[in-house]
Amino acid sequence: MAQPRLVYLYHPDNQDFCNDLLRYLSILKENNKIKDWSRKEVLAGQTIDKEVEYEIDKSDIVVVLLSVAFISDNDCKHQFLYAKKYFDANKKYLIPIILDACPWQDFYGMNKLKVLPNNNMPISMQAFKDGALSEIYEEIKKVSEEISKCFALRPDFLSEISKTEFHSQASERIDINDIFIFPNVIKQVDLTSEILIETPLQILQGGKVIICGEERSGKSKLCTHLLTSLIKEGRPVLLIDLNNILNKKASSEIFRHCYESQYVGSYDIWSQKDEKIIIFDNLSPHGKCLDHLGEARKIFDKIIITTSLDDYTSFFSDDMRLTDFTSLSIKQFTHAKQEKLIKKWLTVTRTHFDEDTGYSEIDKIENNINSIIIDNKILPRYPFFILTILQSYEAFMPKDLKITAYGHCYYVLILAHIRKSGINNDDDSINFCFNFAQHLAFEIHSLNSAGIAIDQYQYDAFVNKYKEKYIVNKAILNRLVGCNGLIKTCNGFIKFNLAYSYYYFLGQYLAANHKSCNQLIVDLVSKSRFRNNSLTLIFTIHHSQTYDILNEVLTYTICAIDDVIPAKLDKEETDVFDELLKSIPAQLSSNENIEIEREQQRNIRDIIESNASEDSTESELDEDHFLGSIYQCHKNIEILSQLLKNKSGSLEITTIREIIETICDAGLRLAKILLTDRQKLEDIVGFIQRQYKMSDKFDPNKQQSIQLSEIRKNVLFNIFVWVMGNIEKIVSSISKPELKEIIEALAREKNTPAYDIISYFYFLDTLSNFDHSARERLFEIVEKYPVPKSFFINKIISIRTQWYFKTHSAKEPIKQAVYSKLDIGNSRKKFLHPV
């Protein structure tokens, strides 16, 4: 049984009475009711105060022997105040015992506590001293028995598992409960369907469950959340990190020891409870992990295990000892959950969440995060990475997010891997790691440019070649390559633990060796339509100290589909959409709740990301020059966007303007590809109808005029989506608030509807609050493009503005004025957004 821990606080002059009390309570010790400690156990040479504080931290009961000597001694006062602070914070038992006559009632709020003896008479003044001691014995016995039945988590254990590695300027420590968002836990039903698990109780329904997740996917924090949530539900649950017992012999005593380190209360009583649950974190193929699992089956009714996805795939997916386990997996955060995490972070790191400006601030932070995650292509959208970016941005941009922390985020993540692998954080060790990683990334690219891995033979050859040029610290190298290091072995292949590390170090190598790698870089730019090349270029330009690579990308972007002129989106180009846009109601329907609207918007982003087609193969793009040029344009816009968002602080204004203009014109050339006049539109419709007649889906009973009308609507809709999709791509690529003056000046100079739309959309996306000045900005563009002359422009301005109000707060009079100007009704009920 785990005995409640009892500490005596007393003045040395009262040692004799303490000895008497120890003798009376000895029967409690013999019966395993308590385990006590007093200052006489402090060894020679130890600091008394530190030892006393250490024992108080571990204690469940603090007995204070009050006397004139105690309350007048500074050291005793210090010890008491430390115990009282601990008592107040953790709701432990603080038991005062009055030894002799003294003004104890005025001693730091002591009069609010129940003291012993029960009659408040000092023991030294009582005729029958043993009777008082017997009374104290019974009271402490009651407290001990109460503690044995409470099964509460020890505060020090709860504090330890609740820690996160994150902090902010407003809070020195951020606990997991402050920022926890339940992860995307998925149960795969079959090849095409899956079930989303959203609560701890849903996880428990499996009885025996193994949860798989990638590195840093949040497995351990999910375990902490499961533990605390199930305890609140009154469930008997135990959490064990298998890393801590890897090499220990499996036995039931392991569970007893873990329980006693986690809980206050009797393990023997606790173990009699029904439906006991054990959570094993970090299952690995090492040590005696599965032996501990076998022992747990004898005691626990429900078992939850977490393990890495690599270990599960390589070692456990076919293990007969796990055949009765339901397999769940942790997927990346959705955009909606990412927003919830950002909002929680802002709540913790700000004094309050301002609804008028808060949603716009979230939008800006989201853009910064997404520019680093790059649509899940570089960093997985897991809480750890999102929070690392948030922390980095706050450290660099405490006021208005004006300084980029792009490179710093990756650097911080890489250092975290290095530290986690046990490598010292000194300059020599870090320099070795970075240099080795740069050369390895380049070697991987040289041997396998289409992938990010090499086999063991190729790796060994590389290491031998590296040793000929550089001094190798074997101990550091062994730590660098492993499950916690930068580099890992997976199914016989060597690769970087996460993709961002590979691209970070490859870009660093190419930037540092720009001259000798010039032809390779030119080839990357010429084939930037391929994913690996575009991502490599993003990081190379980030590390580069020259404009050479940037100029190459600009040139190739300008030349891509250069036989197509940028769209102007004037009446001549857009009047084909009039019929389509007239079918859209003047006022967008709304469920009248901003939070729901924003969540739906982010769900759409998830769908777009999941449905995004993979890059075409190199042979396909090389065979079709026009298709290749379109891909080249798209990828170069992404590259230039990354550069614009993350290096604009070090670029000249003229260069920034050139980048913005190149992005806009490239996007408008893409938009122009499908824009056509009415005659060509009818030709396309006629062609599709002829193809339709020859297909199995042809319905001969449907009138030809109806067929043509439906085909025309579908063609127009897809052209419209293509055009507006490219406009939105342009806007998202340049949506950095600091670029406002440059973008507005460029729009005035170009003076086309297309540039005015881009400028207004940019204005909305970077707006802090739709106030009176924003209203005037809208009025200007609406008056410039009145309905009779510019129906297309007016309509999409109206749609985009309404969408802003659906997802952001604004003052009611402002919204009324805007809706009136857009001629979509002025009923207050129509556009009121209660939050």
Q: What DSSP assignment string belongs to 398-418? A: TTTS-S--HHHHHHHHHHHHH
β-sheet with 277-283: strand ranges across: 194-197, 184-188, 326-331, 208-213, 302-308, 277-283, 237-241
How many whole angstroms separate alpha carbon 147 and alpha carbon 1? 12
Distances (CA, A) of 686 to 76, 673, 713, 715, 717: 96, 19, 13, 11, 16
**Lowest-confidence range among 294-308, 533-547, 801-815?**
533-547
Do 190 and 115 share a domain, yes or no?
no
Q: Is residue 447 part of a domain?
A: no
Answer yes or no: do 170 and 107 share one domain.
no
304 and 278, same structural domain? yes
Burial group, residue 470, by CB count within 10 angstroms (0-12, 13-18, 19+):
exposed
pLDDT at 774 over 90: yes
Contact status, residue 39 vs residue 8, Cβ threshold 8 Å: yes
Measured distance CA(172)–CA(191) in Å, rounded: 46
Which of the pair, 162 or 357, is modelled with greater confidence?
A: 162
Is residue 818 in a domain?
A: yes
Please give the pLDDT value at position 828.
40
The answer to whether position 535 is within a domain reads no
Same domain, 67 and 142: yes
Q: How far is Cα 135 from Cα 117, in angstroms, rounded to an integer?
A: 7
Task: Tell me the angle at which helices 653-672 and 704-734 cross, rounded to the nearest 10 degrees.
Answer: 170
- What is the rounded average pLDDT of the residues 554-567? 88
Rounded mean pLDDT of 65-76?
A: 94
User: At residue 50, does pLDDT exceed 80?
Assistant: yes
Together in a domain, 65 and 126 = yes
What pLDDT sits at residue 87? 76
Domain boundary among 331, 357, 380: 331
Is residue 598 within 8 A of residue 807, CB to CB? The reply is yes
Looking at the structure of the chain, the number of domains it has is 3
Token digits of residue 607: 């769908």
Same domain, 612 and 654: yes
**Cβ distance 102 to 67 under 8 Å?**
yes
Where in the sequence is the domain holding 80, given as residue range(s)? 5-150
Higher pLDDT, 166 or 297: 297
Confirm whether 768 is domain-assigned.
Answer: yes
In sequence order, the 6+-apart residues with CB closer than 8 A to the CB of 47 are none
Q: Which long-range contacts (CB under 8 A, 24 or more apart) does 99-102 make?
A: 99/14, 99/17, 99/65, 99/66, 99/67, 99/70, 99/123, 99/124, 100/67, 100/68, 100/124, 100/125, 101/68, 101/125, 102/66, 102/67, 102/68, 102/70, 102/71
- 3-14 per-position pLDDT tens digit: 788 999 999 999
Rounded Cα gap, residues 310 and 605, in angstroms: 28
- Read off the tokens for 752: 């086309």
Task: List, as own/partner pairs, every contact residues 87-94 make where C-beta atoms lie below 8 angstroms and the sequence separation is at least 24, other chains included.
Answer: 87/62, 89/155, 90/155, 92/59, 92/60, 92/61, 92/62, 93/60, 93/61, 93/62, 93/143, 93/147, 94/62, 94/64
Span 218-254, pLDDT tens digits? 999 999 999 999 998 889 999 999 999 988 999 999 9
pLDDT interval class at 833 (50, 70, 90): very low
Written as one string, the DSSP assignment of 732-754 is HHH--GGGHHHHHHHHHHH--HH
Q: 182 with 324, same domain?
A: yes
Q: What is the pLDDT of residue 90?
A: 63
Asked if pLDDT for residue 374 goes beyond 90, the answer is no
Higher pLDDT, 493 or 45: 493
Mean residue pLDDT across the chain: 86
CATH at residue 118:
3.40.50.10140
pLDDT for 95-119, tens place per residue? 999 999 999 999 988 888 889 998 8
Q: Examine the domain organization and report whether 35 and 89 are in the same domain.
A: yes
Using only C-alpha atoms, the chain has a radius of gyration, in whole angstroms, of 34
pLDDT-derived band at 408 (thresholds 50, 70, 90) equals: low
